[in-house]
Chain A
C-alpha cells in the first residue's frame, strides 16, 4: 500500500517519472535502481565525508612553514581500496545481470497481446496484426492483472531513421532501428493514459514525436478493437460538404500517404485515418484533436509541427473546410 501511494505521488510530480512504475519491466528496473542508488549513495557519503574531512582538517595553518611528513604510500591501504571496490562491482554486476535476464529473456505467455510498432519521421504506426487493423500515434493495450497476466509484446521496427520507444512508467527504452527488429514488452497494472516520447534523435521534429499509451480495461479494449476493425462508416448522414471533402481528399495527393479503410485511399507513408476521430490528439500528440486544430494542420502542418513531412497542400479555403468536414466523419 505504501508503495502504491508513493508511486502515485511520484506520478503526480511528472507523468513520465521513472520512479513511478506501473508495469513489471519498469518496476523491476525501479527496484534495481533503488538498490544501485543505495550502494552508490553509501559510497558517496563515505568518500565525500573523507574528502571534506581531509580538505578542512589538513589545511595549512597560519605561520606553519615546516613541510609535513613525506609519505609515499601504503600497500595495505591501496590493497584495501582495490579489493573492496571489486567486491562492490561484483554485487552490482550480478544484481544487474539478474534484471537484464528477467526483462530481456521473459517468455511470452499464451494470450499475450501483440503489436508491431513502426517508427516514422515523426509519428508512430501501430499494427495490430492479430486483429487485422492498423492505427497511429495512440497505442491501446489491455490492463494486465497479476493472476491472469495479459502482457503486450511489442515488435519495434523503423521505416526511416533510428527512433526509441520510451514510456517511462511502463518500461525502459528500446530503439527502433531500420533493418534491426527489436522487442520489448509491458504489462500495465492500472488503466489510464501513460505518456512518453521518442528518445532517439530522429530528425527535425524529434521533440514532437510523442507517445500516448492508453491502458484500457479488458472490456474497453475489446470494444475499442471491435470499433477499429470496422471500415470507415462513410455514407451514413454525411453532409454535402463532407461528401465534397471526400472527393477532394481522394483527388489530391492526400491518398498517396494516408489510408482510409473502405475507400481508395490506401497510402502508408502517413498515419492511417480510418478512425481519426477516435484519437485524442493530432500529429503524434503535438496538438489536441479539435476541428480547429485539424483544419490548421491540413492547411499548413508547419504551424503545429514545423519540419513535419506532410506538405501544405495549397488548396483553397472552401476545400480545407470540406476536407475537414470529411475527416470529422471518420469516427
Chain B
C-alpha cells in the first residue's frame, strides 16, 4: 500500500532504509511482530528445522554409543539425557512445529482466505511453542539435576512416575521438561483452536466442506484432536508440578500415589498425538499423489470419513502402550479390538491412494518420489502396528527395539518422508524458487538407503531381545552385527538430510525461479503468485468443486459436473 492512502501525511514512515544495518533491523522487526500466516508458517518451519539439527545430533550420539557392546563414548547419564531429549525434541519441537508451519501457511491459501481466523493468536501460538523448545534446551545450562550442575532431563520422553518424583529426580531437569511441554502445549491448543475456527469459518465463497482440499480436512481433524489430547497432558504436567513442589501425591507412590495414573494420563495424550502428527502427513500425500498421478483423489467422501473415523478411534486406543502394565485380561482384549479397528480407516486411505495412482500417468518429480516411498513404508509401519496391537505379541515386543523400529517407521518412513515431499512441493510457492533437482535426488536416495539400513534391522534386534533405552549391552546376545548396520544407516541418513538442508539454503538464493503454478496443480494456492502477496488473493476466489484450477484449465470437462 502506498503512503498516499494514509489519511494523515507522514503518519507512517515509508522511507526505505538504505544502510545495511538498518535493513537488517527492519527485516528482523518485521518478522518478530508479524501476524501474517505465511511468515509465521515459515518461522514455524525454520524453528522446527533448527530443533531437527539438535535432535539429529542426539540420535547420532546414541548410535555411536551403541555401535559396539560396552562402548565408553558417553556416560550412562549422558546417554539417558540424549534419548530423553531426542524423543521430546523430535515429537514436540520438530515434527509438530514443521507440521504447524505447513498448516498455517497452506490452510488459508487452500481455502481462499487472507489469513487465519485469529492472526494474533497464531503469532502467540508460534512464540509459545518455540519458547517451550528453547526452555527445554536451556536445561543444559540451568538444569542442575541428578548429577550436578547443568543437566538436561533424563527421565525418558514419556517420563513415567515415580522416576519423575523429587525422590528419584532431584534438581530441576524434570521441571524444565515439565514446564517446556506445558508452555508449548499452550501454543498447540492455540493453533488447534485457530485451525478449526479458520477452516470452519474462513472458506471462500461456495467452498462447502465437501469441496475443501483433503489437506484442510486432515488439518481440521488434527486441530480438533489437539484440543482433546493436549489438555490431559497439561493436566498431568500440572499435577506433577503440584507433586514436586506443593506436596501433592498424585504420582508419589511412596505416599500412596499411583504410577499407573500417570501412564493413563500420558498415553491418552500420547496416542492421539501420533495421529496429530500423521494426519497432516496424510494431507500432504493426499494433495501430492493426485497432482502427480494426474487424477483426482480416489473416493473423496470415504477419505473424509476415514479421517474423521481415525480421529475418533484414536481417542480410544491409548492403553495399547501399556499392555505390559498388568491390566485385567478383558481390558487388554478391549484395547486390542480398538487398536486393530484403527487399521480399517488407515487401510482405506492406503487403498484410496493406490486407487488414485491406478490408471494415472505418474510423473516422478521429487515430491512424488517421497510420497511413493511414504506409501511403501507406511504400509510396513501399519502392519508392524498390527503385530504390536495383538496384546500377547506386544508382551514380547513392547519396549524392545522392535517398537523403536515400528514408531520410527511411522515417524521417519511415514511422516518425515511426507514432510520432505511437502517441502519439495510447496517450497516454490513459499520462496518463488524450485529446490535443486540433483541435490533432491541425493537427498532422497541417501535418506532412503539410510532409513532402511537403520530401521529395518532394528526389528531384528528387537526380536532377538534388545531392550530400548539401554546405554550399553552384553556380548553374545546376537545384537552386535545389527547395531553396526544401524549405525551405518544413521550415517547415510545424516548425509541425506544434510543434502536437504543445504538444498533449502542454496536454492533460496540460486534455485530456478518458479512461476505461479510449477506443478500444474489444482488447488487455490497455485492461483496466486509465488511467493503470495501479503493479502494472498486480490479478489476472493469462488469455487465450484474440490479442484478449482482443474475446472479453470479444463472447461470442457470440469469436476463440478460430477460432484
A173 and B324 in contact, given A44-B379, A178-B162 (Cβ under 8 angstroms): yes
Question: Which among A28, A54, A95, A166 has the greatest number of chain B C-beta atoms within 10 A?
Answer: A54
Q: Whole-angstrom distance between the alpha carbons of A172 and B324 in the complex? A: 8
Tell me whether A100 and B361 are in contact (CB under 8 A). Answer: no
How many residues of A are in contact with the other chain, CB < 8 A? Answer: 90
Q: Whole-angstrom distance between the alpha carbons of A50 and B359 in the complex? A: 12
In the complex, whether B392 has a CB less than 8 A from a CB of chain A is yes
Tell me whether B325 and A177 are in contact (CB under 8 A). Answer: yes
A36 and B464 in contact, given A93-B336, A172-B396 (Cβ under 8 angstroms): no
Q: Quick one: closest A residue to B355, CB to CB?
A: A77
Tell me the residues in window 381-400 of chain B with beta carbons closer than 8 Å to chain A beta carbons. 383-384, 386-387, 389-400
A89 and B344 in contact, given A68-B295, A100-B392 (Cβ under 8 angstroms): yes
In the complex, whether A231 has a CB less than 8 A from a CB of chain B is no
Partner of B379, one of A51, A61, A97, A173: A51
Tell me whether A68 and B361 are in contact (CB under 8 A). Answer: yes
Give min CB distance, B313 to chain A, whole Å. Answer: 12
Residues of A within 8 A of B375 (CB): 51
Give min CB distance, A293 to chain B, whole Å. Answer: 14
In the complex, whether B463 has a CB less than 8 A from a CB of chain A is yes
Q: Whole-angstrom distance between the alpha carbons of A201 and B399 in the complex? A: 9
In the complex, whether A200 has a CB less than 8 A from a CB of chain B is yes
Tell me the residues in window 305-323 of chain B with beta carbons closer than 8 Å to chain A beta carbons. 322
A68 and B360 in contact, given A89-B341, A99-B392 (Cβ under 8 angstroms): yes
Q: Which of A157-165, A247-255, A261-269 contacts B (4 or more CB under 8 A)?
A: A157-165
Tell me whether A96 and B344 are in contact (CB under 8 A). Answer: no
Q: Quick one: closest B residue to A81, CB to CB?
A: B351
In the complex, whether A312 has a CB less than 8 A from a CB of chain B is no
In the complex, whether A1 has a CB less than 8 A from a CB of chain B is no
Tell me whether B336 and A97 are in contact (CB under 8 A). Answer: yes
Tell me whether A73 and B357 are in contact (CB under 8 A). Answer: no
Tell me whether B465 and A196 are in contact (CB under 8 A). Answer: yes
In the complex, whether B362 has a CB less than 8 A from a CB of chain A is yes
Question: Chain B interface: which size bin?
Answer: 35 or more
Residues of A within 8 A of B360 (CB): 58, 68
Q: Quick one: closest B residue to A28, CB to CB?
A: B392
Q: Whole-angstrom distance between the alpha carbons of A97 and B386 in the complex? A: 14
In the complex, whether B478 has a CB less than 8 A from a CB of chain A is yes
Residues of A within 8 A of B341 (CB): 89
Q: Quick one: closest B residue to A197, CB to CB?
A: B467
Q: Quick one: closest A residue to B155, CB to CB?
A: A201
Residues of A within 8 A of B46 (CB): none
Tell me the residues in window 549-563 of chain B with beta carbons closer than 8 Å to chain A beta carbons. 554, 557, 559, 562-563
Partner of B168, one of A18, A64, A81, A203: A203
In the complex, whether B61 has a CB less than 8 A from a CB of chain A is no
Tell me whether B396 and A178 are in contact (CB under 8 A). Answer: no
Tell me the residues in window 27-46 of chain B with beta carbons closer than 8 Å to chain A beta carbons. none
In the complex, whether A192 has a CB less than 8 A from a CB of chain B is no
In the complex, whether B10 has a CB less than 8 A from a CB of chain A is no
